[in-house]
Structure 1
Amino acid sequence: MSSRLPAHGVPAASGLGRRLSRRRLLRHTMTGAGALLAAGPLAGCAVPAAASGASTLSVWDLFQGGDGMLMDDMIDAVSKGSKGSKGSEGFDIDRTILDWGPSYYTKLAMSAAGGRASDVAAMHLSRLAGYAPGGLVDAFDLDLLAEFGVTRKDFAPAVWERTQHDGTVYAIPLDVHPFIVFYDQEAAESAGLLDSSGELAPMGSPEALLDAGKALAEATGQAGILFGHVTDTAQNWRLFAGLYAQTGAEFTLPDGGPPEIDVDAAVRVVTFMQQLFDGRTNPNNLDYYGSVAGFTGGRGGMAMLGEWELPTLKESGIPLGAAPFPQVFDKPAVYTDSHSFVLPHQKDPDPARRREAHRYVAAILEQSLTWAGAGHIPAYRPVLAEPAYAALKPQSSYADAAKVAVLDPPNWFAGAGSNFQNRMCQPLQSALLGNTSAEKAVRQMVREADALLRQPNPVA
């Protein structure tokens, strides 16, 4: 299976080559979490912090393509210093970009375990539970961050809660990237789905979203709502997880099992997914790229996608609108993840370098209006309050998704790019394709979750 993911969901721009002289691009295809500690330190990992020079911060991330170029711009800005930020002197940054996927998280764990960690690294917040409990990342000093203008009040509580392990903060969010709906504004207006301000009106019930699909199909003369899930490792889970959270039920996976899953609520959600993607009003057999191509080609009035597809969709020239995923069950909830910063574990960190790492994270957060250009919601709320962000369309239309963010269960085996997401997606795919019932799909999901809970954490 393959899946298009927010770490590199924006096409590469033509200027990428000239920027590579400012950073090192390191690729490695090693996979398999079971090999994490047995393999030992990697000779190809980034130069240890102390070897880079006292004034140079080593930074690892997984941002390539358009996202990578935006991060270049942000690093360029903080490297020059900013009169508007606290600690306004610049930085000397040694940036290493690694391929997105299991290999990134394998190398991140190995570097921390082997004493070759960078000063700062990017991590999907949904993966933190596989690193903080095992001591692979170090805690942030909140007093030091506050000295540079960043406090816990600057983040949505729903996201901030997931930065912690045992009450200690191990990650600082850069963004929130939710699973949302994009829509053709002309088709939505014709279908009667917009409010007086021209935004997507609330749905409020499963029946309302089903009716919206029919109205959009009539407006376009083709399909209503497009959703690509076939052979995808994440899409079905994103849709299910957000809808399941809207029922108010908990998807809890306690260590050792058994899973604590509300089967009735899960069946209710899968049944609705089958009704929504009935193969008639809304296709049930699209892959990811087919759904994107169908929407940009005008063959559907709405698409359920991650916000990271915004640059691609804007290039199509369709009159584009966007909104948080509609609330159709009992409470608002939107499936999300978050690119965050962590401090990979160092056995004897230099206090001055750690101070600079904190200052760097704070400075990058202040630049996150640039990051919003790719569709990501800045996690740092002072940027959200800027008039320049309110002027970003359609980004500002779905910013409230951060307030009701729902991430993967906080387990070592879950999170972005994980086998957990893949194993949840397969029975859901069978249900949407009509090969199994909602009840059987949910039972299979419970069995898969139970099997994962019985596996030992390789980095515990």
Structure 2
Amino acid sequence: MSFDHSGHGGRARLGRRGFLRWGLAGAGAAVAPGLLAGCASPAAPSDSSTLRVWDLFSGGDGVLMDEMLAAVGSGPDAFSIDRTILEWGPSYYTKLAMAAAGGRAPEVAVLHLSRLAAYAPGGLLDPFDLDLLAEFGVTEQHFAPAVWERAGWDGEIYAIPLDTHPFIVFYDKEIADRVGLLDSDGELAPFGSPEAMIEASAALAAEQGGSGVLFGHVADQAQCWRLFNGLYAQTGATWELPDGGEPRVDFDAAVRVVTFMTELFDGRTNPNSLDYFGAMAAFQGSRGAMIFCGEWELPNVRSTGRPMGAAPFPNLFGQPAVHADSHAYVLPRQERVDQARRREAHRFVATMLKNSYTWASAGHIPAYQPVIADERYADLDPQASYADAAEVAVLDPPSWFTGSGSNFQNQMTQPMSSALIGDMSPEQAVQQMVDQSAAMIDQPNPVA
């Protein structure tokens, strides 16, 4: 991937920090959370009309965000933005929590929607004024229900989604067509069952002359969970993490999914021991016909020059579902709210959503539905092919310890990765996942 904005595929690299106000002390804290005490009070904005905005977008995403901010920073209704770009990962979320707890947070920040349960209940965020958002042309009806329902907590809306970024499939269209996997519109036809997916992968491998399906998981902290979470939801089961209780898990359904994963990546038709970058390199080198990964890899797969197709992750177990997350705007708690600036924050969020066609070029699905309905979006290839994934998006189970970049994803991923390489049975892997879930539930929430 070209930007590594969410820890997808390895440790994020520190990106451009052009407006970072904390100098060397802040840069040190980015990799040393224990130093955060001195970072919870960023300097005040240069004037009363300036909005302070924190985000975690570097690389290709950072460039696109620059374009969007440049667009809203000009003209008669221009915004004055003091942007802070921080390294994605635990350090970002710790800094945001510390700043909000101290009441000295920015007016607007970006949060992965899967992380909301760690922030809204603890009073680290303020809810949005939906009447004010509606005044600026943004309402609940403009979002896919699967994403919007995760934006709320205790009857209030605490996050406004900017995008949905799902786990999908990219594939070589010519190879898929030759083995009969495309429909009359030239798109990937439904598989319908795990067995059909395995048969299709064998056909792809034979036609490719190498591997059918590629998937990088070795030493990765999230890949197996992304694959599992969508497939498990397709069975109709839920992975629930009630506070003070035991995990509620359909053990048999989970074993079915992990067993399928081990059968698909058998080490013969499809490799079972690739790391993330090895899988990407194999696909880019035409050593595989299909790859399971996030849509954020679009710039990389497009650079191969292969006839590229993309699709939401196939429905194999009966109920359409795709693992995903969402970059969302939030209003971090402030000790003293400037109502004029808070109003401007609402206008800023609404304006950014309306300008998110630019954001779609990186592969992300705009959360603001009028952008997707625009005929320009229909011409985006292959982005338009997987836009429906937003309708069936499944995020991490809501808890203070889950979400993108969390230790929960890592703890769920490792036993499944061991099962894929043959070091653990599917039953053992699922049992370890349940046990780890129970152990995390027992841990106290540090911001409660």
Which bin holds the TM-score, normalised by the shorter protein? over 0.9
Q: Does 1:287 align with 2:282?
A: no
Is the alpha carbon distance of 1:126 and 1:5 closer, same or farther for their aligned partners in structure 2, counting shifts above 3 Å?
farther
The size of the alignment, in residue pairs, is 439
Work out whether residues 40 and 95 of structure 2, in 8 Å CA contact, stay in contact via their aligned partners in 1: no
Q: Does 1:92 align with 2:80?
A: yes
Counterpart of 2:444 in structure 1: which amino acid?
A: P
Q: What is the match of residue 65 of structure 1? A: 59
Matches within 5 A, 1:46-125: 46-48=42-44, 51-81=45-75, 89-125=77-113
Q: Deviations over 1:44-102 (max 9, x none)?
A: 75324xx4311100000000011001001000101114xxxxxx611000000000100
Matches within 5 A, 1:214-229: 214-229=202-217
Quote the offset at 1:186 in angstroms: 1.0
- 2:340 counterpart (352, 360, 371): 352
Q: Deviations over 1:260-284 (max 9, x none)?
A: 0000100011111111111111110
SS for the counterpart of 2:109 is strand
Tell me the TM-score normalized by structure 2.
0.94
Whole-angstrom CA distance in 2 between matches of 1:131 and 1:292: 34
SS for the counterpart of 1:374 is coil
Quote the offset at 1:115 in angstroms: 2.1
Q: What is the match of residue 228 of structure 2? A: 240
Q: What is the match of residue 380 of structure 2? A: 392
Whole-angstrom CA distance in 1 between matches of 2:258 and 2:233: 13
Q: What is the match of residue 439 of structure 1? A: 427
- 1:42 counterpart (38, 42, 46): 38
Counterpart of 1:27 in structure 2: which amino acid?
A: A
Work out whether residues 180 and 305 of structure 1, in 8 Å CA contact, stay in contact via their aligned partners in 2: yes
Q: Deviations over 1:232-276 (max 9, x none)?
A: 000000001000000000110001221000001000111111111
Quote the offset at 1:7 in angstroms: 3.5
Q: What is the match of residue 119 of structure 2? A: 131
Q: What is the match of residue 250 of structure 2? A: 262
Q: What is the match of residue 321 of structure 2? A: 333
Counterpart of 1:189 in structure 2: which amino acid?
A: D
Is the alpha carbon distance of 1:342 and 1:395 closer, same or farther for their aligned partners in structure 2, counting shifts above 3 Å?
same
Q: What is the match of residue 27 of structure 2? A: 27
Q: Deviations over 1:300-350 (max 9, x none)?
A: 000000000001111111111100000000200000000000000012201
Whole-angstrom CA distance in 1 between matches of 2:78 and 2:421: 54
Quote the offset at 1:425 in angstroms: 0.6
Matches within 5 A, 1:205-220: 205-220=193-208
Counterpart of 2:270 in structure 1: which amino acid?
A: N
Q: Does 1:159 align with 2:147?
A: yes
SS for the counterpart of 1:59 is strand
Whole-angstrom CA distance in 1 between matches of 2:127 and 2:446: 21
Identity rate of aligned residues, in percent?
63
Work out whether residues 202 and 212 of structure 2, in 8 Å CA contact, stay in contact via their aligned partners in 1: yes
Whole-angstrom CA distance in 2 between matches of 1:32 and 1:262: 38
SS for the counterpart of 1:42 is helix
Gaps of 5+ in 2: 10-14
Q: What is the match of residue 276 of structure 1? A: 264
Counterpart of 2:92 in structure 1: which amino acid?
A: Y
Q: Does 1:305 align with 2:299?
A: no
SS for the counterpart of 2:88 is coil
Counterpart of 1:278 in structure 2: which amino acid?
A: D
Work out whether residues 333 and 405 of structure 1, in 8 Å CA contact, stay in contact via their aligned partners in 2: yes
Whole-angstrom CA distance in 1 between matches of 2:18 and 2:257: 49
Whole-angstrom CA distance in 2 between matches of 1:138 and 1:94: 20
Quote the offset at 1:27 in angstroms: 3.4
SS for the counterpart of 1:281 is coil
Q: Does 1:376 align with 2:376?
A: no
Counterpart of 1:137 in structure 2: which amino acid?
A: L
Quote the offset at 1:41 in angstroms: 4.1
Work out whether residues 8 and 63 of structure 1, in 8 Å CA contact, stay in contact via their aligned partners in 2: no
Q: Does 1:143 align with 2:139?
A: no
Counterpart of 1:301 in structure 2: which amino acid?
A: A
Whole-angstrom CA distance in 2 between matches of 1:130 and 1:22: 27
